[in-house]
Amino acid sequence: MLIRLDSKPLRKPLFTKRLAQYLPQYNFIPGGMKLSFIFKLYSVDWDIFIEHFKGFSIYKNSRFNALSGGERRILETYIILKTKSEIVFLDEPFSHLSPLHIETVKTLIAEEKQTKIIIISDHMYKHIIEASDTIYLLKNGTTKKIDRLTELEDYNYLSEGSL
């Protein structure tokens, strides 16, 4: 498989030059790490994070494994979005998040997509529709660009009338 960026083929893996960041479905940050160290390691500003997620202010010196599953997801999603890169891959970024935090993450995605390519894979289609400029349906090993949302029903991804 060949990937091109600005019509130029990329011959090295995207992640070797910090060109891309990836948020997997599972936690990638080791549980014993302190949040203050994580933010320093990824060169992300803790104070700006707290502006978006005020409830985290008490956790600065806590270990990652002291957070709930949803809190871990918020932190990892934020770190990946805010780390310097040109491309961000987010796999299921809305999973385990409260509705309020989903809205904040969508706002962060909207901010970051001004300067980065953001590719999101998620089953929570309403959030994807709201956060995306272009939508592709991945089905049976193929990719189909969705030009009209009703095509999601036509391809049997959504039941008729669910939009």
Name the band, by pLDDT with cuts 50, 70 and 90, for residue 123.
confident
Name the band, by pLDDT with cuts 50, 70 and 90, for residue 1.
low
CATH code, domain with 106: 3.40.50.300
Scored b (16 or more CB within 10 A) or e, 54-78 reads eebeebeeeebeebeeebbbbbbbb
CA distance 106 to 127: 8
**pLDDT confidence of residue 163:** 82
CA distance 78 to 38: 12
- Same domain (yes/no): 83, 152: no
- Same domain (yes/no): 122, 66: yes
Instruction: Read off the pLDDT of residues 14-59 as tens digits, 9 standing for 90 and up.
Output: 555 578 899 999 999 999 999 999 999 999 999 999 999 999 999 9
Cβ atoms < 10 Å from Cβ of 88: 23
Instruction: Read off the pLDDT of residues 67-108 as tens digits, 9 standing for 90 and up.
Output: 999 999 999 999 999 999 999 999 999 999 999 999 999 999
**pLDDT confidence of residue 20:** 87
In a domain, 21, yes or no: yes
- Same domain (yes/no): 33, 93: yes
- Same domain (yes/no): 99, 22: yes
**pLDDT confidence of residue 2:** 58
CA distance 55 to 63: 15
Token reading at 28? 């990638």
Domain ranges, residue 104: 16-129
- Same domain (yes/no): 40, 118: yes
Q: Report the domain count for the chain.
A: 2
pTM for the whole thing? 0.87
